[in-house]
Structure 1
């Protein structure tokens, strides 16, 4: 038996690598021997991540993936890489009833998560057989009241994943779809009963707990590492779609 379907360590760019799921992905890639470039909008957050992750095979570049000129410049700087992962999502003001939704604020989620992913697909310089991995989410399957933007963007991102897997072949394009994961993104939500909602969801899930950033990172690494997976949505949701 051979391991021809298993990818070896290479160079990887992680968008959103300064915190949360992105930082966990970067940590996992470093542990697997990859050279990693983390990218984010906040230079301070990137600097903190570099200190936490160590500066061995790690570098950081500030860029906003919703701005095409910055995405193009990013890949002019880093050149050809083997893998690109994006966890970037601006969740500021993303929830709200559609009748009075503030698109001026909430569209940042659309621009970072969906448009940003398309810009990465356009400008990333990937080796033959390399990979592009997105992060969608459970809202595409279990939308919440007031969550139209989140549900729409995540569903669209999964459609984009399948389209790009065909268009960009042999580059492999996949997505991880997390359920409720404990990250700092919850801090941007203004729910009065946030703690109670999180506790109730943990009890409801077949897995009996909420997800961790390490759970998501492990899923991303599994997609990166298997050269025979493309056009796939990998659900890491603790069974959320079943309840």
Structure 2
């Protein structure tokens, strides 16, 4: 039995989690749309520990891909979903193309629902989704992403009841140094310096910070139907 599937495990927070699990000797399947990115991630992970690493190319927004994914892996203990695509999503609602908004909802929300649909009866431990601070502190330039992220909490509440005793939770990161920032065309380090000064933690998060949060909800058998905020205090500023 595969111990963990990480959808979005080819980079960023998902890769950090995979690295931690493999270092502990766990068997992990990393899933993503890019076979090349998965191959590079596997090469890195093979030097990080003793766990087995499998790679599976799949698109979270395609139902047939998700169905095939769970047919391939069979029973699995934990499923973690970190996949996200912010391409073209930032801007005022009047300026964001409707097709882009549909893509966000298809991958971030409907894709998460498909995971619950096809993981049912196969996952034995937990499902953990990834939300984001914009669901709780929208800034006027990412409204559709904020809406999709916010809906994940309601999805997790429903699935936690429906799939019980399988536990279903959401980890909601704040500002984290991941490759998604490279899509935004800004001076990342200057932005991070300014953003860090606004947080009680006085720093931007790292993928390893979020990996530790995933581990906490994966391993605590009494946490379900919960949103774990890992945001450096962003929500209280």
Question: What's the TM-score, normalizing by structure 2?
Answer: 0.93
- Equivalent position of 2:12 in the other structure: 20
- Equivalent position of 2:140 in the other structure: 145
8 Å CA contact 1:10–1:81 kept in 2: the answer is yes
Shift of the alpha carbon at 1:108?
2.3
For the aligned residue pairs, the C-alpha RMSD in angstroms reads 1.7
8 Å CA contact 2:2–2:29 kept in 1: the answer is no
Shift of the alpha carbon at 1:105?
2.6
Matching residue within 43, 46, 49 for 2:35: 43
What residue ranges of structure 2 are gaps of 5+ in the alignment? none
Which portions of structure 1, spanning 4 or more consecutive aligned residues, are displaced by more than 4 angstroms? 125-129
Most deviating of 121-130 and 228-237: 121-130
Matched, 1:232 2:226: yes
Matched, 1:212 2:202: no
CA distance in 2, matches of 1:212, 1:106: 27
Matching residue within 99, 102, 125 for 1:104: 99
1:127–1:106: structure 2 CA closer, same or farther, 3 Å change rule? closer
Deviations 1:153-180 (A, max 9, x none): 1110111111111111111001100000
CA distance in 2, matches of 1:107, 1:93: 12
Equivalent residues in 2 for 1:1-243, closer than 5 Å: 11-54=3-46, 56-124=51-119, 129-191=124-186, 194-243=188-237
CA distance in 1, matches of 2:79, 2:211: 13
Shift of the alpha carbon at 1:103?
2.0
Q: How many residues align?
A: 234
**DSSP 3-state at the match of 2:171:** strand
8 Å CA contact 2:75–2:124 kept in 1: the answer is no
Most deviating of 207-216 and 102-111: 102-111
CA distance in 2, matches of 1:72, 1:90: 21
CA distance in 2, matches of 1:242, 1:187: 27
CA distance in 2, matches of 1:13, 1:133: 10
CA distance in 2, matches of 1:157, 1:18: 22
CA distance in 2, matches of 1:15, 1:110: 16
8 Å CA contact 1:38–1:58 kept in 2: the answer is yes
What residue ranges of structure 1 are gaps of 5+ in the alignment? 1-8
